[in-house]
Amino acid sequence: MPKRYEITPNQVEEIKAAQKRNKYKNVEARLRVLLLHAAGEKRKEIAKRTDFARDYVSKLVSKFSNEGLGSIVDNHYKGNRRNLSFEEEQALLETFKKQAEQGQLVETNAIKKAYEEATGRSLEKSHGQIYRVLERHGWRKVMPRSKHPNKASDEAIEASKKLTLAYRS
């Protein structure tokens, strides 16, 4: 017969306290599994009520019993460590912001080069990443209005307006 892990009343209180602090749906579902197990539900019933596989329910209870609540609540995915944090990006863009406030043109190539030096890797394959960084920090592209190269001069346009014939009635 398989080993049945018991959850003590103190652990139940700890789980309920973790539920109150929790912000994530997936963690909420895992904590619900533990509370159902503590209430005496069978694996099959817990699996039906939570839409988890029966083996995953067993794995969660075993992990909680052996490693504690931290193994259930903590997010073990730490994110992308290859890029800069929001604050580091902000500090990097500060020098370019000062240049822009002084009226100098700031090009994305210079920002991209500084970003590559700060991260220590090339952004060749990540097209548009520097633009996403700029967008995240509220930068926008300001350009003069484009003009057609063969557009007539304003004087020529005004002269042609005067030459048009009035409609005959």
Examine residue 21 and state whether it is found in any structural domain, yes or no: yes
Q: What's the start-to-end Cα distance of the chain, in Å?
A: 105
CA distances from 78 to 19, 88, 102 (A): 21, 17, 39
Distance, in Å, from the CA atom of 52 to the CA atom of 66, rounded to the nearest integer, reads: 20
Examine residue 24 and state whether it is found in any structural domain, yes or no: yes
Examine residue 2 and state whether it is found in any structural domain, yes or no: no
Shared-domain flag, residues 63 and 97: no
Shared-domain flag, residues 90 and 116: yes
Shared-domain flag, residues 48 and 104: no
* pLDDT tens for each residue of 59-73: 999 999 999 888 888
Shared-domain flag, residues 56 and 90: no
* Residue 50 identity: T
* Overall domain count for the chain: 2
* pLDDT tens for each residue of 104-122: 888 889 999 999 999 888 8
Q: Please determine, for residue 16, whether its predicted confidence score (pLDDT) is greater than 50.
A: yes
Greater confidence (93 vs 128) lies with 93
Shared-domain flag, residues 112 and 57: no
Examine residue 40 and state whether it is found in any structural domain, yes or no: yes
Q: What is the pLDDT of residue 1?
A: 47
Examine residue 148 and state whether it is found in any structural domain, yes or no: no
Examine residue 3 and state whether it is found in any structural domain, yes or no: no
41 is in which domain, residue-wise? 9-73
Distance, in Å, from the CA atom of 4 to the CA atom of 2, rounded to the nearest integer, reads: 6
Give me the percent of the chain exceeding a pLDDT of 70. 91
Query: What are the b/e assignments for 25-50, b being 16+ CB within 10 Å?
Result: eebeebbbbbebbbeebebeebbeeb
